[in-house]
Amino acid sequence: MKKLAVRDLGHMAYGEALGIQDQANRSRYDEEITDTLFFVEHPPVITLGRSTGEDDILLSVEERNRLGVEVHRISRGGLATYHGPGQLVGYPIVHLYEKAVQIKRFITSLEQMFVDMLGELYDVEARLDPENRGVWVGNRKITAVGIAVRNRVTMHGFAFNVTTDLSHFDWIVPCGIRDRGVTSLEECTGRTVDLADVRDQITCAFRETFGYTG
């Protein structure tokens, strides 16, 4: 039986959640825990992937300090990403076992999971983009995806804009893309959606997509 543990970290600072991911990655590699999906909602924070510099941050240091916005450089691929209230962040700690090429299939399956879920549950027509990672509604990104692999175990994950304040994306060049926008589930549906309900929906979709039976 392929089992998945699900843990809701609630509201948590990015650095603290990253420490939990680090420990879980080691524990999963050592077979001390099963595959685990962490959910969390962060206070405003900007993360920088391996491929970007601080030029993609449009806020001055003074503005960041005034607004209390943290900046973290992390090990995932990709460029600048914003996390904040109203955004449901998921960190899958999944042992791939096989060669690292499996990560491409994992990421594509994760993105397609959101496309299917948005269509089936919310009548939102989303799509994948062959040139840019993430999940898109028209030319606006609704879910960012950035995965790293350490010891054949995944880290980092996805950020799904549910009721996110989209003006906060003006603080960065999202994923290095200057000619497209961002959107949220609230904006697409015209109604407020409860994060707890969305978390449950993603959990069900993740179990089904990746074949978990427990």
Confirm if 28 and 36 have CB atoms less than 8 A apart: yes
Side-chain-side CA neighbours of residue 107 (13 Å)? 26
Query: Is 188 one of the catalytic residues?
Result: no
Strand runs labelled E in the chain: 4-11, 35-41, 45-48, 70-73, 80-83, 87-93, 135-137, 140-150, 153-161, 181-182
Separation of alpha carbons 37 and 91, rounded Å: 6
**41 Cβ contact list (under 8 Å, min separation 6):** 10, 11, 12, 85, 86, 87, 88, 89, 195
DSSP 8-state assignment for residue 168: G
Confirm if 14 and 83 have CB atoms less than 8 A apart: yes
Q: Which of 175, 182, 195, 198 is catalytic?
A: 175
Tell me which residues are annotated as active site: 175
